[in-house]
Structure 1
Amino acid sequence: MSRYSKIVGTGSYLPPKRVTNIELAAQLAEKGVETSDEWIVSRSGISARHYAEPAVQSSDLAVEASRRALDMAALKPNDIDLVIVATSTPDHLGGFPSTACVVQRKLGISNGAAAFDVQAVCSGFVYAISIADSFIKAGAHKNVLIVGAEVFSRILNFEDRTTCVLFGDGAGAVVLSASTEPGVLATRLHADGSHGNILCVPGSISGGAVDGSAFLYMDGQAVFKLAVSVLEKVAKEALDAADMSASQIDWLVPHQANIRIMQGTAKKLGMSMDKMVVTVDQHGNTSAASIPLALDVAVRDGRIKPGQNVMMEGVGGGFTWGAALVRM
């Protein structure tokens, strides 16, 4: 009998502090940075985002999203035999212990399940889905908890209006389980390190201090051009691998980075915006958390139904990109 992997639960969590463009513009004005709701919306489609309080870490957001995904899957923490957390804002400097291990501890998973982080920035969740799918199909794991969790507000330069208005904090999670029915139909992953300088945090740690900048840097125009190009191609690669066409996609759940990138991708795939899940207006760009956040919103409001085909795709610093075609 063939062994497949299937999403059996989704969950998400946003920190309570919601900041609108008008509120953010007022805060930035105090620093001498000029922006407006109109300026932000016209360039990104973003109207609001959520920020975590100073004491809240990525793992805290991840745990809340995970609990909701586990509840939907009707599973207990110790039913999970692998934890993968996609994050660019880990709890600990240097990335260890991994945020996945912290999430494992906070959830009370005490069965010795494997746990590790994935760092592919905004593509991290798609990378994690592909990894978990391979492990399950190989028979190595049965129930995998996959989380995208970020506190990007910690690495934003609030004197740079081209970046600080775009990002927010949050977490999304899925439980991927072994199944006799096809769930993950195809995944495709790519990276091109020659473009690493267009979206990065260029600083490093030396002698216990930051060497260089610890703030996010982005060449917006370069990212836009590359993103629209690679997202169309990787989506078609996944469709070809599954022997399907774009007309068979019920829902497109892209990385929620910029509404113009999302519109450009839908147009190139010949898809109506009515088939795209959009949360960027209320969440901003939550990096690795954006796809599972959007997926959970659409599952819980009834748009995404069992048996439907969903294309998830993302691009991130590195430069990384990937797509996952799944049947819910």
Structure 2
Amino acid sequence: MTNTRFTHAALAAISSVVAGHAVSVEDELEYFSDNPAQMKRFTDVSGLHTRRKADDDVTASDMCAQAARALLRHTDTPSSDIGAVFFVSHSADYLLPASAAILQHSLGLPRNCVAMDMNAGCAGFINALWMAASLVESRACKNVLLLAGDTPGRFQPAANRVVGPIFGDAGTAALVSYSESPSPMSFAFGTDGSKHEALVIPGGGSRIPQCASEGADSPFNQTVSDDKGNPWTLGGQCSIWMDPMGIYTFSTSVVPPHIKEHLQHEGLEPQNVDRLFLHQANKIIVDSIAKKVGIGKENVPTESLSLYGNLGVASVPVLICAHYAKSSSGPAAKGHANTVLCSFGAGLSWGSVILSLDKTTILPVCDYIKEEKAASRAERIAYWHKKFSGHAPK
């Protein structure tokens, strides 16, 4: 386990935006063999009831941008004060360039700001927070804007009961700033790439690319059903493959000892933890980790899971906002000096941070509001056809 400690990098603010379209498991009874008892077993075990799904023309960066504008506005932080922006997602706008570069422009950040994309799966928020804290602690930047969001729910087939009802879409923003007074952050990480196939988007990358010449009947686009009738394919954008038992075993066997060792490294016991914010994979995983670590359910929030679904990299920041910012914004975690954030998932990778949220500005979760001038998919296709032919508007 790699440990790093910072003393002058503070998590100054967090803002979250969820996709506007709510999808209820109860509306998908047909995928549970029209059996209400089967559907109830699923919701009881998973804790999943409603998930948020983005429209086809809404991206993770769109939701992150809305969250960032709210954060900068509420904290009175001039965009010119941002020294770096990270966009953490596996749902980038383009393969090239980095979405962070586009966000630099749309948010009015300075041209001398560092702009980077990161793809680190569900653990990505903690990873990016570590990078942001590193820059701030070293005084390379005074303020770093961390944007974490994904849209996995937009692309999963509803008929696939392994991934269809699980994932939701959201975007978040966090501000990491230099603090003259001590503001300790302790990080610990782990990675096991030998198990990367447990959670993967196998098709569409450079390893198994989608060829333009392949038709709907090609092996790449073929749909294969497992023994429970769940459809899987290499084709289609962001088609996730997940081994549920593999992920459960990993989450419940690796994450609890990791958290306990991290606490021990900081001289803390489980009873010293004010809040444990876990990646909201599903109810049974969250409950199992909390029990094995020895932290009571009253200190392990789960508000976001049943409302929004598994939000991937945005899971932990949305959970923090859902838990603290019930009706008003501002410092909402008074006295919570020993807060643990822990994310885990694709890679396989996991990470945790122990910090204080005592002075963190936490904004309420907001629904995404689509911009009136936002171009549709068809309009964007038409634009690029004109650009290819040399007739696009300047």
TM-score by shorter chain over 0.5: yes
Instruction: Find the counterpart in structure 1 of residue 321 from structure 2.
Output: 296
Instruction: Find the counterpart in structure 2 of residue 135 from structure 1.
Output: 135
Residue 270 of structure 1 deviates from its aligned partner by: 1.0
SS state at 2:177 partner = strand
1:264-296, Cα deviation, whole Å (9 max, x unpaired): 111111111111121111111010000111112
Instruction: Find the counterpart in structure 2 of residue 323 from structure 1.
Output: 352
Instruction: Find the counterpart in structure 1 of residue 259 from structure 2.
Output: 235
Equivalent residue in structure 1 for 2:90, among 88, 91, 104: 88
Instruction: Find the counterpart in structure 2 of residue 108 from structure 1.
Output: 108
User: What is the correspondence of 1:8-23 to structure 2 with a 5 Å cutoff?
Assistant: 8-23=12-27
Residue 208 of structure 1 deviates from its aligned partner by: 4.8
Identity %: 25
- Partners of 1:86 and 1:147 within 8 A in 2: yes
Q: Does 1:244 align with 2:273?
A: no
Give me the whole-angstrom Cα distance separating, in 2, the residues matched to 1:307 and 1:319. Answer: 30
Residue 244 of structure 1 deviates from its aligned partner by: 2.2
Q: Note closer, same or farther for the CA distance 1:115–1:237 as it changes in structure 2 (3 Å cut).
A: farther
- Partners of 2:275 and 2:336 within 8 A in 1: no
Q: Note closer, same or farther for the CA distance 1:24–1:169 as it changes in structure 2 (3 Å cut).
A: farther
Give me the whole-angstrom Cα distance separating, in 1, the residues matched to 2:176 and 2:190. Answer: 22
SS state at 1:325 partner = strand
Instruction: Find the counterpart in structure 2 of residue 273 from structure 1.
Output: 297
TM-score between the two structures when normalised by the length of structure 2: 0.76
Moved more, 99-108 or 7-16: 99-108
Residue 119 of structure 1 deviates from its aligned partner by: 1.1
1:37-82, Cα deviation, whole Å (9 max, x unpaired): 4143123101101111111111101011112222343312222111
Instruction: Find the counterpart in structure 2 of residue 173 from structure 1.
Output: 173
Moved more, 159-168 or 297-306: 297-306
Q: Does 1:7 align with 2:11?
A: yes
Instruction: Find the counterpart in structure 1 of residue 392 from structure 2.
Output: none
Give me the whole-angstrom Cα distance separating, in 2, the residues matched to 1:110 and 1:137. Answer: 21
Letter in 2 for 1:311: V
Letter in 2 for 1:308: A
Q: Note closer, same or farther for the CA distance 1:84–1:25 as it changes in structure 2 (3 Å cut).
A: farther
SS state at 2:163 partner = helix
Letter in 1 for 2:11: I
Number of aligned positions between the proteins: 322
Residue 315 of structure 1 deviates from its aligned partner by: 0.9
Instruction: Find the counterpart in structure 2 of residue 57 from structure 1.
Output: 59
Give me the whole-angstrom Cα distance separating, in 1, the residues matched to 2:74 and 2:339. Answer: 18
Residue 133 of structure 1 deviates from its aligned partner by: 1.2
Moved more, 253-262 or 203-212: 203-212
- Partners of 2:168 and 2:310 within 8 A in 1: yes
User: What is the correspondence of 1:114-153 to structure 2 with a 5 Å cutoff?
Assistant: 114-153=114-153
Alignment RMSD? 2.2
SS state at 1:188 partner = strand
Give me the whole-angstrom Cα distance separating, in 1, the residues matched to 2:11 and 2:324. Answer: 11
- Partners of 2:7 and 2:183 within 8 A in 1: no
Structure with the bigger percentage of helix: 1
Instruction: Find the counterpart in structure 1 of residue 68 from structure 2.
Output: 66
Rg comparison, structure with higher value: 2
Give me the whole-angstrom Cα distance separating, in 1, the residues matched to 2:335 and 2:15. Answer: 16
SS state at 2:162 partner = helix
Instruction: Find the counterpart in structure 2 of residue 197 from structure 1.
Output: 197
Give me the whole-angstrom Cα distance separating, in 1, the residues matched to 2:48 and 2:210. Answer: 39
- Partners of 1:185 and 1:242 within 8 A in 2: no
- Partners of 1:40 and 1:165 within 8 A in 2: no
SS state at 2:341 partner = strand
Give me the whole-angstrom Cα distance separating, in 2, the residues matched to 1:274 and 1:67. Answer: 33
Give me the whole-angstrom Cα distance separating, in 2, the residues matched to 1:196 and 1:155. Answer: 21
1:223-248, Cα deviation, whole Å (9 max, x unpaired): 00111122212222332333322222
Residue 180 of structure 1 deviates from its aligned partner by: 2.4
TM-score between the two structures when normalised by the length of structure 1: 0.91
- Partners of 2:204 and 2:210 within 8 A in 1: no
Instruction: Find the counterpart in structure 1 of residue 43 from structure 2.
Output: 41
Give me the whole-angstrom Cα distance separating, in 2, the residues matched to 1:182 and 1:241. Answer: 19
Gaps of 5+ in 1: none
1:242-264, Cα deviation, whole Å (9 max, x unpaired): 33222221111110111111111
Q: Note closer, same or farther for the CA distance 1:285–1:316 as it changes in structure 2 (3 Å cut).
A: same
SS state at 1:204 partner = coil
Give me the whole-angstrom Cα distance separating, in 2, the residues matched to 1:191 and 1:3. Answer: 25
